[in-house]
């Protein structure tokens, strides 16, 4: 167990680990605002396929969670991060291939899909391993801080990566995204190579499906809240385009910036008042923001809705995550993080095609009403879990 450290020393250690999440999510963010428009406008495919290109990454992350959890718990978080960075580099190769095959739309689409599948597997390794690595270095008492900073790293990277990807394509072309992803992956491997690993916890490990069962209710709340993020990330550029508004990439940046501000300002509330209370407040704000997006008559009000949505969604993952991870022993922590995280993958994976189908039938504004209803359902589930936890008797042998 790590010795007690000063809060700033803990934070610096955590930041030095979640840097790998930042690099990994830059690779995800760079193509985020470009690919839907590229698939829809340049390759000539419909809105459902454009959404699928984004969502297939999250489905790959979902399916690879059990594998990533085994690597983290058995071989260690450091090795998982390095393997994940190698996957990011390979996805960059597929991005380059897609750029070279633009004259053959189907071949270019297949290359994009393969790259997204590889990137999704890499995401499950890097994101969960960084959380496990951080907790292993600073101790389980700082779980909320590790998860919060990991989220700041991921959404900060998305906020920076989305407009960066747009600029790269505008000035250099699609090939530049592939090269940048390759270079970032090489940087991540170089930084991780000589870094001190977290100790591997010895003990009996719960089967993944048993862990999944324990975190299922918390994961469902996360999945319902995550639909709002998936809708904004996948379709905000097309939503702005259909309304003839400008600065769609800036809208993604505002979403990410408000997300980060909320975590920096209110991240400590989880330890002070409990995860469920924080989740309830956050999902309320997210629902309001999505309703703003649904009804927005202008780009400015749509951006305000995105800001509210980002602010609200900010602490949902760590708030429910702390409650979920505390349900399993330390030796299965990697499995708990992976099992809980797969619900956001599931949420983002189904959001693209489902929201695309809704947009095709009812218009792009309707997808934000769909997301608001989902967020409201997550709020109701969190209220139920909070009441159940408050009324449940505690026993001495219960895991903390």
What is the tens place of the pLDDT at every residue in 259-285?
888 888 887 788 788 888 999 999 999
Q: What is the mean pLDDT of the chain?
A: 83
pLDDT tens for each residue of 232-258:
877 887 888 888 888 777 887 788 788
> Which residues, 6+ apart, have CB-to-CB distance to 342 below 8 Å?
61, 62, 65, 124, 212, 219
Position 288 confidence tier, pLDDT thresholds 50, 70, 90? very high
* pLDDT at 2 exceeding the cut of 90: no
Q: What is the CATH number of the domain that holds 378?
A: 1.20.1250.20
Which pLDDT value is given to residue 156?
76
* pTM for this prediction: 0.70
Q: Is residue 361 part of a domain?
A: yes
CB 293 within 8 Å of CB 306: yes
As a whole number of angstroms, the distance between CA 26 and CA 165 comes to 9
**What is the Cα–Cα distance from 345 to 160, expressed in whole angstroms?**
21
Residue 374, domain member (yes or no): yes
Could you give the number of structural domains in the chain?
A: 1
In a domain, residue 7? The reply is no
The stretch 367-388 carries a mean pLDDT of: 92
Q: Is residue 226 part of a domain?
A: yes
SS3 of residue 399 by DSSP: coil
9, part of any domain: no
Kindly tell me the burial class for residue 310, based on how many C-beta atoms sit within 10 Å of its own C-beta (0-12, 13-18, 19 or more).
buried
| 394 confidence band (pLDDT: 50, 70, 90) | very low
Residue 289 has what pLDDT?
93
pLDDT at residue 396, rounded to an integer = 35
Residue 202 placed within a domain: no
- pLDDT value for 284: 95
Question: How far is the CA of 307 from the CAs of 229, 252, 292, 302, 368, in angstroms?
Answer: 11, 9, 10, 9, 14
- Both tokens of 95, joined, read 């991005």
CA nearest to 255, candidates 304, 221, 319: 304
Q: Which residues contact 368 (CB under 8 A, 6 or more apart)?
A: 228, 231, 290, 291, 293, 294, 305
Percent of the chain with pLDDT over 70: 94
Write down the pLDDT at residue 398: 42
Is the pLDDT higher at 47 or at 170? 170
First CA to last CA across the chain, in angstroms? 15
Task: Give me the domain span that covers residue 138.
Answer: 15-193+208-390
The pLDDT of residue 201: 65
201: in domain: no
| 22: pLDDT strictly greater than 80 | yes
Residue 149 has pLDDT above 70, yes or no: yes
Has residue 298 been placed in a domain?
A: yes
Structure tokens at 392: 């449940």
Closest CA to 156 of 277, 11, 22, 248: 22
Which positions ≥6 away from 188 have C-beta within 8 Å? 20, 23, 24, 81, 85, 88, 126
Closest CA to 389 of 287, 282, 280: 280
């Amino acid at each position: 167990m790590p010795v007690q450290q000063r809060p700033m020393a803990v934070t610096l250690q955590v930041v030095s680990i979640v840097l790998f999440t930042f690099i990994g999510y830059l690779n995800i963010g760079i193509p985020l605002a470009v690919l839907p428009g590229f698939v829809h406008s340049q390759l000539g495919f419909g809105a459902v396929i454009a959404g699928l290109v984004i969502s297939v990454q999250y489905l790959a992350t979902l399916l690879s969670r059990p594998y990533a959890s085994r690597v983290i718990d058995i071989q260690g978080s450091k090795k998982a991060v390095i393997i994940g960075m190698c996957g990011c580099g390979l996805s960059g190769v597929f991005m380059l291939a897609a750029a070279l095959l633009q004259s053959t739309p189907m071949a270019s689409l297949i290359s994009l899909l393969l790259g997204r599948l590889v990137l999704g597997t890499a995401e499950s390794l890097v994101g969960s391993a960084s959380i496990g690595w951080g907790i292993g270095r600073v101790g389980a008492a700082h779980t909320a801080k590790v998860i919060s900073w990991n989220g700041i790293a991921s959404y900060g990277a998305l906020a920076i990566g989305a407009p960066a990807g747009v600029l790269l394509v505008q000035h250099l072309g699609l090939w530049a995204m592939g090269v940048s992803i390759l270079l970032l992956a090489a940087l991540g491997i170089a930084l991780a190579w000589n870094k001190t690993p977290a100790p591997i916890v010895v003990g009996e490990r719960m089967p993944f499906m048993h862990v999944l069962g324990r975190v299922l209710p918390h994961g469902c709340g996360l999945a319902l809240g995550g639909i709002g993020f998936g809708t904004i990330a996948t379709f905000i550029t097309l939503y702005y385009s259909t309304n003839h508004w400008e600065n769609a990439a800036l809208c993604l940046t505002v979403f990410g910036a408000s997300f980060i501000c909320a975590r920096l300002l209110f991240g400590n509330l989880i330890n002070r008042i409990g995860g469920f209370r924080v989740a309830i407040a956050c999902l309320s704000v997210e629902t309001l923001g999505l309703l703003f997006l649904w009804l927005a008559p202008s780009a400015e009000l749509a951006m305000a809705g995105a800001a509210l949505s980002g602010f609200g969604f900010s602490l949902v993952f760590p708030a429910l995550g702390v409650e979920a991870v505390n349900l399993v022993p330390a030796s299965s922590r990697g499995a708990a993080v992976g099992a809980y995280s797969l619900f956001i993958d599931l949420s983002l994976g189904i959001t693209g095609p489902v929201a695309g189908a809704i947009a095709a039938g009812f218009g792009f504004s309707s997808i934000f009403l769909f997301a608001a209803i989902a967020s409201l359902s997550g709020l109701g589930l969190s209220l139920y879990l909070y009441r159940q936890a408050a009324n449940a008797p505690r026993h001495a042998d219960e895991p903390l």
